[in-house]
Amino acid sequence: MRVRHLFLPCLALPVFFLLCAGILEAQAGEPAVLSTQPPAGLLRITGSSTMCPMIAAIGQRFSTVRPDVRIVVECGGSDRGIKDLREGNSEVGLVSRALKADEKGLFGFPMARDGVSIIVNKSNPLTTLTDGQITGIFSGRLDTWRTLNGKNAPIAVILREPQKPVTEMFEKHFGLNGLLRGKLVPGDNPVTIAAVAADPDAIGYVSAGEAARNANSGATIRIIPVGGVMPTERNVITGNYPITRPLSLVTRELPAGAVKDFINYCLSSKVVDLIARFDFVPYED
């Protein structure tokens, strides 16, 4: 395996499965080779709420063949994943963004890609926005829907916390650093999706994978293209969609033992269908 540089209460997702020490190398996309030394006991994984459900599903599958090590997956955001790693409170961090300059001493293993989607309420007849219109809406310069969809109603802009990776990516892409204006609704993707689904005049930004999952499940939201491009799997893979991010497993030291077994499994062909199930795409160099 090569080393390569997603207010609700934290959601704890306990998963039980076997991990052992003494790993053989595996390239992403190849079957994971699992070790045969004694089990490591407990593997703690914390971080990105975008990634948590996918990692829990991978853990449940892994548990069918390696049931004797307890894995605890807890959400709380990418920054929590980094903080827990550095403080020794976890063995693996879940980070849904590129590592920052002061994090380059950590080891990042991208396993999937995701995009950032702009969503409106499904009752909104709007189907497209220019980059200039998006910038105007989220900076407060455009404050009613009248010129956009003909409805004489104020635009209810839903913002995520500034430290969230989706906010950082959104700001960077549209040149809105420090310029966002709207209602800050603390919490993760499901909170923003619920807020937009409940308000016919709302607009927000969330994980593309979560937006697609919720829209396909009947949530009253509509995904708006960016630059005329929808955040489909193909467009994320090819880079045609302009706002994408890596979903990475991060460790404080070069992985060994149980940690390396788990990362090998996450980078193997055994989990490609689970990555797709959560509307992400496998990471490819």
Residue 2 lies in a domain: no
Tell how far CA 177 is from the center of its chain: 21
State whether 19 and 100 are in the same domain.
yes
Domain with residue 86: its CATH number is: 3.40.190.10
Q: Which two tokens stand for residue 278?
A: 């959560």
State whether 55 and 124 are in the same domain.
no
State whether 29 and 47 are in the same domain.
yes
State whether 119 and 179 are in the same domain.
yes
CB-based contact 209:280 (threshold 8 Å) = yes
* pLDDT reported for residue 37: 40
Per-residue HEC secondary structure of the chain comes to CCCCCCCCCCCEEEEECCCECCCCCCCCCCCCCCCCCCECCEEEEEECCCCHHHHHHHHHHHCCCCCCCEEEEEECCHHHHHHHHHCCCCCEEEECCCCCHHHCCCEEEEEEEEEEEEEEECCCCCCCCCHHHHHHHHHCCCCECHHHHCCCCECEEEECCCCCHHHHHHHHHHCCCCCCCCEECCCCHHHHHHHHHHCCCEEEEEEHHHHHHHHHCCCCEEEECECCECCCHHHHHHCCCCCEEEEEEEECCCCCHHHHHHHHHHCCHHHHHHHHHCCCEECCC
* pLDDT reported for residue 269: 92
Average pLDDT over residues 188-208: 95
CB-based contact 195:182 (threshold 8 Å) = no
Residue 147 lies in a domain: yes
Q: Which two tokens stand for residue 73?
A: 């997956």
State whether 61 and 154 are in the same domain.
no
Residue 202 lies in a domain: yes
Residue 1 lies in a domain: no
State whether 16 and 46 are in the same domain.
yes
pLDDT higher than threshold 70 for residue 83: yes
Q: What is the pLDDT of residues 136-174, one digit of tens each?
A: 999 999 999 999 988 999 999 999 999 888 898 899 999
State whether 226 and 120 are in the same domain.
yes
Average pLDDT over residues 53-62: 89
Phi, psi at residue 212, to the nearest 5°?
-65, -45
Q: What is the pLDDT of residues 225-244, one digit of tens each?
A: 999 999 988 898 888 999 99
State whether 55 and 109 are in the same domain.
yes
Q: Which domain holds residue 252?
A: 12-113+246-282
Residue 7 lies in a domain: no
Q: What is the pLDDT of residues 100-135, one digit of tens each?
A: 999 989 999 999 999 999 999 999 999 999 999 999
Please count the structural domains in the chain.
2
Residue 20 lies in a domain: yes
Global pTM reads 0.70
